[in-house]
Chains A and B, each alone.
Chain A
Amino acid sequence: MGESLAREVTDRADVRPSAFTMWRVLLASRLRAQTSYRASFALDLFGNLGIALLEFTELWVIFANVKALGGLSFAQTAVVFAFANIAFSLADLIVGHVDELPRYIRAGTLDAFLVRPASVLGQLITSDISPKRITRTLGAVAVFIIAIAHLDIAWTPLRIWALISVPIFGTAIFAALFVTAAGLQFWLIDGAEVTNAFTYGGSYVASYPASLYQNVLRTFFTFVMPAIFTAYLPALVIFGESGPAGLPAWLGLLTPLMAGISWGVALGLWRLGLRHYTGAGS
């Protein structure tokens, strides 16, 4: 940023920076701040890879005892697991810190955000992006590559679309859940543990074949907290499976729609929460 600013000074000193430049600069500053402690950053990278591997071990242990889980083979279940972890870890990387809102409120950081001419949510998101979590994503990508190699899949455009939708719209769904959780923090001071149960719990639920869950749980995590849309449903589309009763595989194509709805809810709640904070809502 230092050098880019210097360049802009000489090139077009009278041009006001765009909103895009502003967010890019904010983001770049956070990345630099986090990677400035190299040893600690390296340890964090290693730790996050450990999380990914440990969680996969759990699946490994299960399949040492059974041949199939919820109608899916080990390789298929591993794909579901990998999808859920890719989507969740990317969302966690980008917005995972937003439910620490009470800390920002206590430290007065939120008030500092409010007196700057920029979106408060945007400032909150860009304030603590966590690149250290990328190894968890990479671990999940490795699981995906190995698992998919064991499956014989004919890649139709529809299946490729389902694959692409995971890191984009699956991530968007989890990100929306984090923002929803953050919005709730305006009312539940110190309620991060409650909302964590849903965000982290959602990622756990998403990691396994949804056919395992009883109806109430399944419906909740499909239509209320659409975690199942992030992994299991797109995976069914790719496998060409029909899906269990009440959860047809074609739902997997609606992941973008669910992401849109989730963000609608999340932003609505965030705005209400911020209005509550500034005293307009109550």
Chain B
Amino acid sequence: MNSTDLTHSTVSDIVIAAKDLTRIFTRRIGTGRARTKEVVTAVSQLNLTVAAGESVGYIGANGAGKSTTIKMLTGILLPTSGTVQVCGFEPVRERTALARHIGVVFGQRSQLWWDLPLRESFEILSTIHRLSPGDAATRMQELRDQLELEDLLDTPVRQLSLGQRMRGEVAAALLHRPRIIILDEPTIGLDVVSKERLRQFLLHERAEHGTTLMLTTHDMGDIERLCDRVVVVDQGSVVHDGTLNALASLVNTQRVMVVDLVQPCAPMNDIPHARLTDCDPTGVRQSFTFSPADTTAAAVLAAVSARAQVRDLTIEEPSIESIVRTLYEGQRSNPTSTP
């Protein structure tokens, strides 16, 4: 252990270091003599460095290689080529050592014991992680307060709602105070309140313990609330790595401003640099689509206000899907412009 501790201390501020990470799957198609092999490159020459305390949103379309990357980071899958170190460990080879330092939440599958009360899952996990009972009790108290688990502890996991279960899953993944928590679609299927509660907890956990956060999601809200950094993956490679704003300006995504007017008004199709894309029959609610590169939300609002009194407005941010789609289209039409 001494020698490994030494190496770990020198890389302690780098939590994830992936270099030229590649994973190729070979699938056999058909049967008998007609059987052929199909080679699929799920992750291709992926480079990613995450420092301790960072909060990274890892996004991309379905099949872009997100889950495969996560499996390689967590020790479930070995890379075909390239290297990866998480918390200074080689994930597959040093699986159990790594497991003591990472927490993993899979949104679509449970890590809890579904036929036992939630409390027992935590008790089992604390012995699996060899937490001393005193340590486990302190940590458990902390988690049950922040995630409001108190009333759920005696309920069998299978009777919990999705939102309740997900809070349990996150608590289970953080019980051993991992240095990094990797969440694969943690908010999928959750209602607005449950999502927000989970996000607040993750923000708190990060602020309190400096836990590194990496999550995949299809929810822009997760990224906006939780992530300082967004990594977009397409066809197994990183196509963007930077802040969310940098991403939005790069892909020049259009935004939609929906205004509610005090009085009904004729359709305003003369707002500079903005297009009237929707207008309800009364003319009270009108929607304008504009690109941040051409104008600003303030300018659009000013132009609208000059014509009528505005009661309320919302600005619809681009969805992750649309950002990713626009980015992909740009990449594919101009493959040399990889950032």
Contact = CB atoms under 8 A, between A and B. Distances in A.
Interface of A: 1-2, 5, 8-9, 12-18, 21-22, 25-26, 29, 32-33, 36, 107-109, 111-112, 114-118, 278-280, 282
Interface string B99-142: 11010101011110101100110011111111111110100000
Given A26-B127, A112-B109, A278-B78, 12 more contacts: A14-B132, A16-B131, A16-B132, A22-B130, A26-B124, A29-B113, A29-B116, A107-B109, A114-B95, A115-B104, A116-B128, A278-B77
Contacts of A109: 109
A269 to B, nearest CB: 19
Contacts of A117: 95-97, 99-100, 128-130
Given A29-B113, A33-B116, A118-B96, A22 B128 contact: yes
Interface stretch (B68-76, B143-151, B244-252): B68-76
B74 A115 contact: yes
A39 to B, nearest CB: 15
A13 B134 contact: yes
Interface of B: 23, 26, 71, 74-78, 80, 92, 95-97, 99-100, 102, 104, 106, 108-111, 113, 115-116, 119-120, 123-135, 137
17 contacts: A1-B120, A1-B124, A16-B130, A22-B127, A22-B128, A26-B128, A32-B116, A32-B120, A33-B113, A115-B99, A116-B99, A116-B129, A117-B97, A117-B129, A118-B96, A278-B76, A279-B77
B128 to A, nearest CB: 5
A5 B125 CA distance: 13
B143 to A, nearest CB: 16
A125 to B, nearest CB: 14
Given A108-B109, A115-B104, A279 B78 contact: yes
A2 B123 contact: yes
Contacts of B77: 278-279
Contact of A9 (B102, B106, B109, B134): B134
The 5 A-B pairs at the shortest CB distance, nearest first, are namely A13-B134, A108-B109, A117-B99, A117-B96, A112-B111
B109 A114 contact: no
Most buried by A among B74, B97, B130, B133: B133
A115 B76 contact: yes
A25 B109 contact: no
A112 B173 CA distance: 11
A8 B95 contact: no
Contacts of A115: 74-76, 99, 102, 104, 111
Contacts of B124: 1, 25-26, 29
Contacts of B135: 13-14
A118 B71 contact: no
A114 B133 contact: no
Given A14-B134, A15-B132, A280 B92 contact: yes
Contacts of A22: 127-128, 130
B80 A279 contact: yes
Contacts of A32: 116, 120
A115 B100 CA distance: 9
